[in-house]
Chains A and B, each alone.
Chain A
Amino acid sequence: MSAERESGTIGVLGGSGTVGRVAVNRLAEAGTGSLRVGARDVERARAAVREAGVAASRARVLGVDLRDPAQLAAFCSGCSVVVNCAGPSYQVLDTVARAALAAGADYVDAAGDTVAMRALSAEAPTELETRSAVFSAGLMPGLSGLLPRLLAEDGPLERLDTYVGGAAAIGPLSAVDALLTRGPGFGTALAAWRGGAVVPNALSPLRSVALPGFRGRVHAWPFLSAEAEELAATLGVDELRNYTVYVSERIPEALAGAWARDDVPIEEHVPSVVAAADADVAVGGPWYTLLFHARPRDRDRSGPTRLILRTPDSYALSGVVAALAARSLVEGGVPPGTHAAADVLDPRRTLDDLVADALVDEVDLG
């Protein structure tokens, strides 16, 4: 496979991180284009590129501080696609997207939710008439909004349940994201989607339940995310229940404790969230499951009604999804404008790619 293609260069920002290094590896393996890897710490990025098994000749490593507009512009210049795997997304928002678009590149964000998309749309750059910006190209949001669509292909759904979670370490930056993901624009705890509207306090936490594809007994917390809400509207389901799953109550307790003390700067709550996640992982190692369960309106219809996907590493899998989104852009499969990955990726093809990926332990569609 040739190292260089007509498609040009793909830039990956945050290439030394858990998400970024997997994105770099998958892009290199797919031979989608030549790579440019940006990180604040050049040495760490080089090491990550080496560990990802990418020959130094195929990936140029650049030092980039996202807060420095000149460095950012320099990095984006000459890229056909810029994939941002750096966080925290509440700080990044649309910064990198604007720099990429200004440089004439398409944009992929492995995180970046509705709030980031709205920030970009608020004063939309004119380049969006010809270029694309794809946000939420990760596991959640991302796969969590994309894969359930497979269950609606054979007929409309009365109810869709989504369960995503497991045991995963949360780094300090992700902890800040987790602490910030509440309030308008993110989602509503305990809410469900019913009959075309958000119904607050419709659901209770499920404590100590056994769920297919999840290990042992888990706790599932209802949280109607912005992504889930849009999924419900897109599929026209009568009811959607979206749960975040934890192996213990440590993380929900840490988050609740932090939210109860909003007089304290958010950074001070980070250690307790990080420690809670570490304690969860310490029990049985890292694992993560996505479970989607549909109840078709026609009770007797055939076709799949349940999808289970298991991975040992939720962050790394986000890198896989970001790489798939970049590939789709390169192939010209994405129309111009701002999109969520779930709306522009092909669910069937994505699932096939995931089945073949080493980071996926199991896919069960039935």
Chain B
Amino acid sequence: MNSPVTPTSQSGSAEESSDPEAVDRLLARIWAELLGLDPGDITPDSSFLRLGGDSVLAVRMAALVRTRVSVVLELSDVTVDVTFAELSEVVRRRSAEGADAGRASEVPIEVEPRADRTAPFPLMPLQQGYFVGQQGGWELSYDSAHFYGDVGLTGVDGEEAVDALTDAVERLAEHQPTLRARVDPEGRQYVLPPEAPGAVPEVRVYDLRDSPENEVTDTLTRTRSEMSTTGPDPVRGPGVDVRITLLPGDRARLHTAMSLLVFDGWSATVLNRELLTLSADWNAVLPPLEIDFGDYVAALERLPSTEAWTADRDWWWSRLDTLPDPPALPLRTDPKDIQPTLMATRERHLSPERWAALRDACARHDVTPSAAMLAAFAVVLGRWAGHRSLLLNSLQLNRLPLHPDIHRVVGAFASTMLVPVELPTRATFATIAAETQRVFGEHATHNLVSGVEVSRELARRRGTTRPVGPVVFQSTLGMDAAIGETQPSSAGPLGEVSFGDFYHQLRTPQVAIEARVYELAGGMAVVFSYVEELFAPEHVDAAFADMFGLVESLADGTGWDTPVELPDEVAAPRDGLRIGQLDAERATADTGPLRDGLERDLAEIWEELLDTPILDRGTDFFHVGGDSLLVVRVLSRLAQRTGLTVGVRDFLDAPTVAGLAAAARNGVSR
């Protein structure tokens, strides 16, 4: 590129980003532009915060680094107090990691407010998964996919608390339209106007201020059980359920349940903070949001017509056939034979001091804490599954940095990303972590195509309707910094929030086991959420102990430089019931012309929804453009026209015209 890079230029080039001085010039211009300074004012040790930056500008900065320097920064890279020298170093490192992986694609779209904010818009890929899961569509699915949490409050003003909370919810529903979001039975979402009946979630109150201890305990147990197993369903009402239990001694508990169909984990954090901020102060006003979740979805709909998207799609598609199998964890039972209601949890915390030590150790080894935790989980899984080549799934809360407000908007932005991990033998943990970070970064630069879409294509190629990535890793380390304003611990009439007194439950479909790491009250929490029916308890105990032991050895510095013990086998062993090896030999597809009236009716319904000719009874729904949402629509039309009902799972078991016709006929006789 010959033209000089000006502060308003929207382009960076590979040459520039591989030349450190050029990178620094680009970064200095970005800072100068955002902070209204002269580039000359910025010295290596100036911190973004001290120069007048804030968390909003920090996110905007990450967006500009991505578009101009073509480097994707991780959540934890973009702290408000980063110094220029630190940022420059991080950008160089990320750039080197991405060098042989190709650079992050420039995101070629903009988010703009839609003309009609109440118009329906499609579900995002992960939302589709949750929606279909709620219809019993997947093995390992629940009536609702949701997060439940309750937290202790002390010093509560019992007279004012309920009014303050109710008023805060109303104002929050005004501020964040997604609190008024609904999903229709065909799988489209829309936002109710604030004045619509039932649009604003109602706060439920349990006043136990004068109740004896045993009633308090019973109510808590009952409320937890109910809210953990019956989540809010945006198909029927608000996607959030807020309750408060007033307790003796000016104490209380705040209960919140949020549907994953409309809110992701990042949004849950934002909502909790905003709820407390509004509860604390009747006059608090949150900075207005220019865009909402629907605007983001509308913008993303334009992505597939861009070259950048096509390039990312091709990148993934070219790798699918060589991806490894998921960790072959031994199972007690076939997932399709169980109907779990809750996921079990193992949880331990690292103290703030130990967490600080872990961060320092990670920094010394040039890896992010998230990458180190992913590597630790992979090592644990490798030992548990007995092989070193593993396909992991990860939940990604990152939103594409398309607008400066994006990090403050709530919605179901989350996506997944598949991460293949090849663990070497006789390597140190430091080496494994560095390699894991490189691989993760390489894959993350191609995130314009959602992992849900990638998984769908992988399932199609592997000829399976079972989850291809049921072992999940999720890290929100660094999210607090990226969101900005810290969690208010004081909430006016609601008193003080006791973060140490926190109970939570999560149910996500298509997950056998998930490791989550997040910051809590200054420390770090390590959690396994898993489907209890699937695993032998002693296996989970051993794996969790292995994981936490490894984390502790990384925090105290002893775990980095000794060779990591791993099995010799690269590929998954093939004995007994294991994850990734559940598909029986598929019966050879029953091909041929459509055989009877029912098959002809079905082919017609498929044609209407898929816009492609269906000329063979062996046609696989997922090979001709079908997805889980369309499955729901097919079954709803089948029921309307013929009165025959088929469950989503029965369809998935034999997703052909012949298979569906057989399932429909069996349904009648049953």
A residues with a Cβ closer than 8 A to B are: 161, 204, 206, 209-212, 291, 293, 295-296, 299-300, 304-306, 366
A366 contacts B615, CB within 8 Å?
no
Complex CA gap A204/B624 in Å reads 16
Option from A161, A304, A305 in Cβ contact (under 8 Å) with B613: A161
Q: Which residue of A lies closest to B604 (CB)?
A: A295
Complex CA gap A211/B615 in Å reads 7
| Complex interface: stretch among B7-15, B257-265, B553-561, B595-603 | B595-603
> Hey, what's the 0/1 contact readout for B94-119 against A, CB within 8 Å counting as 1?
00000000000000000000000000
Q: Which residue of B lies closest to A209 (CB)?
A: B612
What are 7 residue pairs bridging A and B, where the CB atoms are less than 8 Å apart in the complex?
A: A209-B613, A211-B615, A296-B600, A300-B596, A300-B597, A306-B615, A366-B593
Q: Which residue of B lies closest to A241 (CB)?
A: B613
Option from A161, A210, A211, A306 in Cβ contact (under 8 Å) with B593: A306
Q: A299-B597, A299-B600 are in contact. Are A206 and B615 (CB under 8 A)?
A: no
Residues of A within 8 A of B601 (CB): 299
B358 → chain A closest CB, angstroms? 49
Residues of B within 8 A of A211 (CB): 613, 615
A305 contacts B594, CB within 8 Å?
yes
A161 contacts B615, CB within 8 Å?
yes
Complex CA gap A291/B616 in Å reads 11
Residues of B within 8 A of A293 (CB): 593, 613, 615
Interface flag for B332 (CB, 8 Å): no
B644 → chain A closest CB, angstroms? 14
B599 → chain A closest CB, angstroms? 9
Complex CA gap A366/B596 in Å reads 12
Interface flag for B523 (CB, 8 Å): no
Residues of B within 8 A of A204 (CB): 611
B608 → chain A closest CB, angstroms? 13
Residues of B within 8 A of A206 (CB): 612-613
Q: Which residue of A lies closest to B601 (CB)?
A: A299
Residues of B within 8 A of A366 (CB): 592-593
B637 → chain A closest CB, angstroms? 16
Residues of A within 8 A of B596 (CB): 299-300
Option from B591, B600, B615 in Cβ contact (under 8 Å) with A291: B615
Chain B positions 605-648 with a Cβ under 8 Å from a chain A Cβ: 611-613, 615-616, 619, 623-624
Option from B597, B600, B611, B623 in Cβ contact (under 8 Å) with A210: B623
Residues of B within 8 A of A210 (CB): 619, 623-624
> Can you name 11 extra interface pairs (CB under 8 A) apart from A209-B613, A306-B615?
A161-B613, A206-B613, A210-B624, A211-B613, A212-B591, A212-B616, A293-B613, A295-B604, A296-B600, A300-B596, A306-B593
Point out which of B591, B592, B613, B619 has the most chain A C-beta atoms below 10 A from its C-beta: B613
Q: Which residue of A lies closest to B593 (CB)?
A: A306
Residues of A within 8 A of B611 (CB): 204
Complex CA gap A293/B616 in Å reads 9
A306 → chain B closest CB, angstroms? 4
Option from B593, B604, B612 in Cβ contact (under 8 Å) with A305: B593
The size bracket of the interface on B is 10 to 19
B593 contacts A304, CB within 8 Å?
yes
Q: Which residue of A lies closest to B613 (CB)?
A: A161
Complex CA gap A328/B601 in Å reads 40
| Across the A-B interface, the 8 shortest Cβ-Cβ residue pairs | A299-B597, A306-B593, A300-B597, A212-B616, A366-B593, A293-B615, A299-B600, A305-B593
Residues of A within 8 A of B593 (CB): 293, 304-306, 366
Residues of A within 8 A of B600 (CB): 295-296, 299
> Hey, what's the 0/1 contact readout for B576-597 against A, CB within 8 Å counting as 1?
0000000000000001111011
B375 → chain A closest CB, angstroms? 39
B597 contacts A212, CB within 8 Å?
no
Q: Which residue of A lies closest to B614 (CB)?
A: A293
Q: Which residue of B lies closest to A292 (CB)?
A: B615
Complex CA gap A174/B613 in Å reads 29
Complex CA gap A315/B407 in Å reads 63
Complex CA gap A291/B614 in Å reads 13
Complex CA gap A211/B601 in Å reads 19
Complex CA gap A212/B620 in Å reads 12
> Hey, what's the 0/1 contact readout for B283-318 against A, CB within 8 Å counting as 1?
000000000000000000000000000000000000
Residues of A within 8 A of B591 (CB): 212
Complex CA gap A306/B600 in Å reads 12
Complex CA gap A192/B610 in Å reads 19
Residues of A within 8 A of B624 (CB): 209-210
Complex CA gap A300/B594 in Å reads 11
Q: Which residue of A lies closest to B619 (CB)?
A: A210
Complex CA gap A291/B593 in Å reads 11
Residues of B within 8 A of A212 (CB): 591, 615-616
> Hey, what's the 0/1 contact readout for B178-213 against A, CB within 8 Å counting as 1?
000000000000000000000000000000000000
Chain B positions 140-157 with a Cβ under 8 Å from a chain A Cβ: none
Residues of B within 8 A of A300 (CB): 596-597
B617 → chain A closest CB, angstroms? 10
Residues of A within 8 A of B616 (CB): 212
Q: Which residue of B lies closest to A366 (CB)?
A: B593
Residues of B within 8 A of A305 (CB): 593-594
B655 → chain A closest CB, angstroms? 14
Complex CA gap A299/B605 in Å reads 14
Complex CA gap A212/B603 in Å reads 14
Q: Which residue of A lies closest to B618 (CB)?
A: A212
> Hey, what's the 0/1 contact readout for B259-288 against A, CB within 8 Å counting as 1?
000000000000000000000000000000
Complex CA gap A168/B246 in Å reads 79
Residues of B within 8 A of A161 (CB): 613, 615
Q: Which residue of A lies closest to B616 (CB)?
A: A212
Point out which of B593, B601, B623 has the most chain A C-beta atoms below 10 A from its C-beta: B593
A246 → chain B closest CB, angstroms? 16
A207 → chain B closest CB, angstroms? 9
Complex CA gap A291/B592 in Å reads 13
Chain B positions 363-401 with a Cβ under 8 Å from a chain A Cβ: none
Complex CA gap A304/B595 in Å reads 9
Complex CA gap A7/B380 in Å reads 87
A212 → chain B closest CB, angstroms? 4
Complex CA gap A147/B594 in Å reads 19
Q: Which residue of A lies closest to B610 (CB)?
A: A209
Residues of B within 8 A of A291 (CB): 615
Q: Which residue of A lies closest to B597 (CB)?
A: A299
B124 → chain A closest CB, angstroms? 24
B618 → chain A closest CB, angstroms? 9
> Hey, what's the 0/1 contact readout for B134-176 against A, CB within 8 Å counting as 1?
0000000000000000000000000000000000000000000
Complex CA gap A210/B614 in Å reads 9
Residues of B within 8 A of A296 (CB): 600
Point out which of B594, B596, B601 has the most chain A C-beta atoms below 10 A from its C-beta: B594
B656 → chain A closest CB, angstroms? 13
B225 → chain A closest CB, angstroms? 49
Residues of A within 8 A of B613 (CB): 161, 206, 209, 211, 293
Q: Which residue of A lies closest to B591 (CB)?
A: A212
Complex CA gap A306/B593 in Å reads 6
Chain B positions 467-490 with a Cβ under 8 Å from a chain A Cβ: none
Residues of A within 8 A of B612 (CB): 206, 209
A216 → chain B closest CB, angstroms? 12
Q: Which residue of B lies closest to A293 (CB)?
A: B615
Residues of B within 8 A of A304 (CB): 593
Complex CA gap A366/B592 in Å reads 7
Chain B positions 230-269 with a Cβ under 8 Å from a chain A Cβ: none
Q: Which residue of B lies closest to A158 (CB)?
A: B600
Q: Which residue of B lies closest to A295 (CB)?
A: B600
Complex CA gap A210/B611 in Å reads 13
Complex CA gap A296/B593 in Å reads 12
Residues of A within 8 A of B619 (CB): 210
Q: Which residue of B lies closest to A365 (CB)?
A: B593
B659 → chain A closest CB, angstroms? 17
Complex CA gap A209/B612 in Å reads 7
Complex CA gap A212/B600 in Å reads 16
Complex CA gap A306/B615 in Å reads 8
Q: Which residue of A lies closest to B624 (CB)?
A: A210
B601 → chain A closest CB, angstroms? 7
